[in-house]
């Protein structure tokens, strides 16, 4: 599972982290700005992931997580079609929300952020769909992790709230 609070904004990677990960070719501020401009995103949505459970550089905004190439050059971003991928992922997820298809949304979201996204969107999911969405996430992830809203959801399903 990827939690945003465990990531470092690329513009703010501390020196001690850079020292610890000497093998990583961190992009310069200029390269980060160029990449963000090319992608049409904020520099604040580009992250370094020190956990080793996915790519080292990530785009992470709201409920969209996309692995970026190891080099944030315009050439690598073009080659991997990152701009289109980011735009299409945002559009697809927004369509599920607009159509009130919450289960499909959570089946489409990168499973590594499904639990945090469920917690973030819990109040927006219609009551009638919460249990179904919850069960779909649990099926994808197994019993781990316990979601922050799991107890509230269990109380809702038992009619206690």
Three-class SS string for 48-109? ECCCCCCCCEEEEECCEEEECCCCCCHHHHHHCCHHHHHHHHHHHHHHHHHCCCHHHHHHHC
Work out the average pLDDT over 3-30.
95
Work out the average pLDDT over 16-25.
94
Write down the domain spans for the chain: 1-82, 100-161
- The predicted model scores a pTM of 0.88
Q: How far is CA 21 from the centre of its chain?
A: 22
**Residue holding tokens 């850079």?**
18
User: Whole-number mean pLDDT of the chain?
Assistant: 90
pLDDT for 91: 97
In tens, the pLDDT along 29-54 reads 999 999 999 999 999 999 999 987 77
In tens, the pLDDT along 110-151 reads 999 998 899 889 999 999 999 899 888 888 887 655 556 666
**What is d(CA 141, CA 112) in angstroms, rounded to the nearest whole number?**
9
Task: Please tell me whether residue 8 adopts helix, strand or coil conformation.
Answer: strand
Work out the average pLDDT over 62-80.
96
Q: What DSSP string describes 118-129?
A: HHHHTTTS-HHH
């Amino acid at each position: 599972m990827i939690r945003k609070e465990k990531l470092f904004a690329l513009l703010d990677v501390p020196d001690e982290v850079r020292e610890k990960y000497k093998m990583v070719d961190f992009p310069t501020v200029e390269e980060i700005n160029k990449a963000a401009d090319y992608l049409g995103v904020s520099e604040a949505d580009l992250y370094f992931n020190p956990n080793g459970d996915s790519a080292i550089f990530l785009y992470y905004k709201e409920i969209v997580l996309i692995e970026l190439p190891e080099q944030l050059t315009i050439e690598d971003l073009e080659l991997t079609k990152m701009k289109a991928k980011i735009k299409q992922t945002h559009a697809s997820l927004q369509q599920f929300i607009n159509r009130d298809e919450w289960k499909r949304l959570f089946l489409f979201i990168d499973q590594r952020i499904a639990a945090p996204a469920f917690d973030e969107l819990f109040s927006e999911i219609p009551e009638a769909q919460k249990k179904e969405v919850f069960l779909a996430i649990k099926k994808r992830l197994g019993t781990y992790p316990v979601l922050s809203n799991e107890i509230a959801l269990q109380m809702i399903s038992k009619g206690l709230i």
